[in-house]
Amino acid sequence: GQNIDQPTEMTATEGAIVQINCTYQTSGFNGLFWYQQHAGEAPTFLSYNVLDGLEEKGRFSSFLSRSKGYSYLLLKELQMKDSASYLCAVRSPGGNKLTFGTGTQLKVEL
Amino acid sequence: ETGVTQSPTHLIKTRGQQVTLRCSSQSGHNTVSWYQQALGQGPQFIFQYYREEENGRGNFPPRFSGLQFPNYSSELNVNALELDDSALYLCASSFEPTGSGANVLTFGAGSRLTVL
């Protein structure tokens, strides 16, 4: 089976850095994705890791450790518009099925 | 390029009724997946279509069915609606050369279904 855990809520200050953690236990692994979802909108792709290490993309970075079943999303120089739900998802082998966590609701405050 | 579009955006049904939700995939994409997202939860995989055939299914009963058309658009049909079917239904598309799942999913904004 698949089990993905991430914190339900986080609060951070504008301009700061925040790290959103995700742990997973899955029967197969073919990559880990992070999506951002604003209320009432489509999830939008942020990052993808399939090998261990850090992937950097502007203000967003994502890290993966397959041996530990662990990933994090790092957001730098937080802006108010970053207030959203951040979804961690693991892809199963042999197809494009994503198993999502419940999402972390990030609130950015002044 | 046009993104993934879904219709209707909102709809209300009563228990026992049937519903059809529609999805147009992003230009150049050949694979469509459907997800159910209950309030406060992450999306749950319903099924995927590749070359007009179901290519993977999640833990949903047979009253959830789908179609993919030659132009890669898709429909999700739900029969005998139950209260717990109330959710946001998300469609996602990707280009898969072999259907094995190599590329990033692009999601639509969803159809919000309320079952009374």
Interface test with B, best of A97, A99, A100 (most B CBs within 10 A): A97
**Residue B2: predicted pLDDT:** 74
Could you give the CA distance from residue A86 to residue A104 in angstroms, rounded to a whole number? 5
B104 chain-A contacts, CB cut-off 8 A:
33, 45, 48
**Residue A1: predicted pLDDT:** 66
Among A30, A44, A96, beta carbon nearest to B94: A96
**Mean pLDDT computed over every residue of chain A:** 94
pLDDT tops 70 at residue A108 = yes
Closest CA relative to residue A92, chosen from B30, B57, B16 = B57
Please compute the mean of the pLDDT values over residues B68-80 and round it to a whole number: 96
- Which amino acid, one-letter code, is at A51? L
- CA R_g for chain A: 13
Closest CA relative to residue A35, chosen from B81, B90, B51, B5 = B90
**Residue A92: predicted pLDDT:** 86
Among B40, B41, B45, beta carbon nearest to A97: B45
Q: Is the CB of residue B2 less than 8 Å from the CB of residue B27?
A: yes
pLDDT bin (cut points 50, 70, 90) of residue B96 is confident
* Assigned token pair, A56: 């950097």
Q: Which segment of A28-32, A94-98, B97-101 scores lowest on mean pLDDT?
A: B97-101
- Which amino acid, one-letter code, is at B55? N
Buried b (16+ CB within 10 A) or exposed e, A69-103: bebbbbbeebeeebbbbbbbbbbbeebbbbbbbbb
**Residue A72: predicted pLDDT:** 98
**Mean pLDDT computed over every residue of chain B:** 93
pLDDT tops 80 at residue A96 = no
pLDDT tops 80 at residue A39 = yes
Give me the sign of the Cα torsion angle A92, A93, A95, A96: positive
Tokens 């999306």 appear where? B43
Q: What is the DSSP letter of A79?
A: -
* Assigned token pair, A92: 């199963």
pLDDT tops 80 at residue B98 = no
Please compute the mean of the pLDDT values over residues B68-83 and round it to a whole number: 96
Q: Is the CB of residue A99 less than 8 Å from the CB of residue A92?
A: yes
pLDDT bin (cut points 50, 70, 90) of residue A40 is confident
pLDDT bin (cut points 50, 70, 90) of residue B101 is low
Q: Percent of chain B beyond pLDDT 90?
A: 82
Q: Is the CB of residue A26 less than 8 Å from the CB of residue A3?
A: yes
Q: Give CA separation, B66 vs B26, B43, B72, B74, B76, in Å.
A: 18, 17, 12, 7, 5
